[in-house]
Structure 1
Amino acid sequence: MSVSYILDSASILSSESQSNIPLVDLSKPDSRHLIVKACEEFGFFKVVNHGVPPEFISEIESQALSFFSLPMSDKEKAGPADPFGYGNKNIGANGDVGSVEYLLLKTDHSFNFHKLLQTPEKFRSALKDYISAVRKMACEILELMADGLKIQQRNALSKLLMDEQSDSVFRLNYYPPCPMLDEASVNGGEGSRIGFGEHTDPQIISVLRSNNTSGLQISTRDGSWISVPPDHTSYFINVGDSLQVMTNGRFRSVRHRVLLANNNWRPRVSMIYFGGPPLSEKIIPLPSLVKGKEESLYEEFTWFEYKSSAYSSRLSDNRLELFQRIAAS
């Protein structure tokens, strides 16, 4: 089923009551236990005292806003996304659309940034500083997860992001201001615009930050949607599909989406670091998390195989279903 561009108010009613999003202070000694609990119950949590310098955050946001403020003809010089580069409305190659402009970038030093901005050196410098800081935070979180799961090799997860062949990517999303839509007005003015349709992230971990504009929602275990209050000083962490497999279903990747109110005159800018393993890495449950007669819930596959499958599917598809050995519970 294709992603609808307009969603009426009845379909998002359950999202209006905000739940208590798990909060983890990375400076506290109990953070490892709180991370595990959040990953088991939500697949999602908020972190404070994350260590990313505020000047790195403000600079990358400034660069993003400068780019997305350019005339369309200039932005299109950085596209079309293949999958890297500039994209507008079309999300992937399978018919999904949203009210979003984006830049998708590789995080390795060999990637050609020069075509993306009129001031590529400044942009590259901002990217280097920012990505280095969020990758460090992501690795710290993965090592705290390992501690909380009592995995003997503390870097069992983080080493995949630090590997020179790590297939990590960085995405800048820009959701334009959203005045009253004609389509929504026809329906009584109650419509909301889909910025990014519901999906899970295929990688190991996602590190998200946005400006102080609402829109992000996550799906809870009972299938209801809850709004995530914006906080431009903090980060939000998503469990990805690969981490769900590596924990043998103990952690669950979180379904999420972006919905934009039809009377919002402020743009929403988000930046996401997707921590991925090397393409040749086998994605299987960690041995210490499969105990006794317990079986792996998933067939063995490489990240390349899963990535290829995920990117040929629709956003809302259950991408792990093809690799399940027995029903995950």
Structure 2
Amino acid sequence: MATKTQAKIPVVDLSNLDLKPGTNTWFSARKDVCRALEECGCFVVEISNKIPSELHNTTFSTFGKLFEFPTETKMKFTSERPFHGYFSSPTYERLVIDNATFTDVTQEFTNIFWPNGNHHVRESTDSYVKLMAELDKMVTKMVFENYGVGDYYDSHMESTTHSFGIIKYKEPQKTGNNSGLGIHTDKHFTTVIHQNRVKGLLIKTEDGEWIDFDPSPSSFIFMAGDGLQVWSNDRIKACIHRVLLAENLETRYSLGLFSHNNKTICAPEELVDEEHPLHYKPINLRDYAQEQNRLVAYQKELSLKVYCGV
């Protein structure tokens, strides 16, 4: 009897972030990226030599110090946007900066914790945001081109902003709960995740299998969010994932870059035909996130089909 092969998260090497559109290497990478997103809703990005292991370790150690500040200090970091600012739950804490690609915004963020400034934290934040935003823009451009609507890319990015999240997961031996994050999809357009060496992220395949993400200093994971699922008219499904933590391990930290299109999202007319009838009504991601935020207290996960399905 043949044994079932363990599913793996697709891996795409994008070490050369200066890939030029229109070149053979660009077309090859674009093909790999879009196949992975269609099959799995995500893929592992290898970016060798972009982040030395020393910088990786120092950065996570520095970001970890943010959570050592008194709760009243962390509570000063607020935002009107759902899931932004400071938030604490029984299993994790997070700090999410809106419009994080602007250096004055990250400066204001660090000044909350260090009123006289902290160049190291600000520069580390800016460096990671810049790298992850470049990655997000490249992959998004590839997706738009792949479906023959590359002309829409510039207008899409003009209405897109990026948030940067720093998340600390509480040790299971202290909380009595190994669930860091429940099963969900991200309520953004796309997500880029980078983390320390502590495992915990699990990706669900179409077959219902859960796959571990094994992190490294040079690896990121790119995920499709609900916004991309609506835009692609179900060609790409949002990545279903969760975080489960093992006991007796060091603290897990992760960094996330979340892209938000701040206008109404709908599938381009070129992506609607007899083979692909329209699946969703137009959606505003901020309103969608606000509704999900309302349901958090009830421990409910908002469904795209329920919220805006045709």
The question of a shared fold, defined as TM-score above 0.5 by the shorter chain, is answered with yes
Structure 2 counterpart of 1:36, one-letter code: C
Task: Decide whether the 8 Å contact of 2:9 with 2:211 is kept in 1.
Answer: no
Secondary structure at the aligned position of 1:245 is classed as: helix
AA in 2 matched with 1:256:
H
SS at match of 2:144: helix
Question: What TM-score do you get using the length of structure 2 for normalisation?
Answer: 0.80
Distance in 1 separating the partners of 2:300 and 2:244: 15
Report the TM-score, using the length of structure 1 for normalisation. Answer: 0.76
Q: 2: distance between equivalents of 1:284 and 1:51?
A: 38
Matched-pair contact (CA < 8 Å) for 1:77–1:116:
no
Which structure 1 segments of 5+ residues have no match?
A: 1-16, 90-97, 184-191
| Superposed CA RMSD | 2.8
Amino acid at match of 1:20: K
Distance in 2 (alpha carbons) for counterparts of 1:271 and 1:49: 16
CA distance change for structure 1 residues 135 and 51 in 2, over 3 Å: closer, same or farther? Answer: farther
2:85 and 2:111 mapped to 1: Cα distance?
9
Q: Which residue of 1 aligns with 2:169?
A: 175
Matching residue's letter, 2:65? S
| CA deviation string 1:268-309 (max 9, x = no partner) | 11000001112xx12101222223574311112333332322
Secondary structure class of the residue paired with 1:20: coil
Separation in 2 of the partners of 1:75 and 1:226?
Answer: 37
Counterpart of 1:84 in structure 2 is 84
Rounded Cα–Cα distance in structure 2 between residues aligned with 1:320 and 1:115: 38
Matches within 5 A, 1:124-273: 124-153=122-151, 156-157=152-153, 159-161=155-157, 163=158, 166-179=160-173, 183=176, 193-264=178-249, 266-273=250-257
| Number of matched pairs | 285
Corresponding letter in the other structure for 1:234: S
Following superposition, the deviation at residue 129 of structure 1 comes to: 2.6
The offset of 1:239, in angstroms, is 0.3
Q: Distance in 1 between matches of 2:300 and 2:239?
A: 12
1: CA distance between counterparts of 2:50 and 2:155? 20
When structure 1 is superposed on structure 2, of 288-297 and 23-32 the one drifting more is: 288-297
- 1:57-68 correspondence to structure 2 within 5 Å: 57=56, 60-68=59-67
Q: Map 1:109-128 to 2 at 5 A.
A: 109=102, 111=105, 112-114=108-110, 116-118=112-114, 120-122=117-119, 123-128=121-126
Find the aligned partners of 2:96 and 2:236 in 1 and give their Cα distance.
Answer: 27
Note if 1:23 corresponds to 2:15. no
- Paired with 1:133 and 1:43, the residues of 2 have a C-alpha distance of 21
Give the structure 1 partner of residue 291 of structure 2. Answer: 309
CA spacing shift, 1:99–1:307, aligned 2, 3 Å? closer
**In structure 1, what is the equivalent of residue 96 of structure 2?**
104
Deviation for aligned residue 1:233: 1.6
In the alignment, residue 196 of structure 2 is paired with which amino acid? N
Please tell me the residue identity of whatever aligns with 1:132: K
Question: C-alpha separation between the residues in 1 aligned to 2:292 and 2:268?
Answer: 22
Which range moved further: 111-120 or 298-307?
111-120
The whole-number CA distance in structure 2 between the counterparts of 1:248 and 1:39 is 13
Q: Which runs of 5+ in 2 are unaligned?
A: 17-24
> Shift of the alpha carbon at 1:257?
0.8
- In 1, are the aligned partners of 2:185 and 2:226 still within 8 Å (CA)? yes
Deviates more, 1:46-55 or 1:249-258: 46-55
Within 2, Cα distance between the matches of 1:193 and 1:40?
A: 30
CA offset at residue 312 of structure 1? 2.3
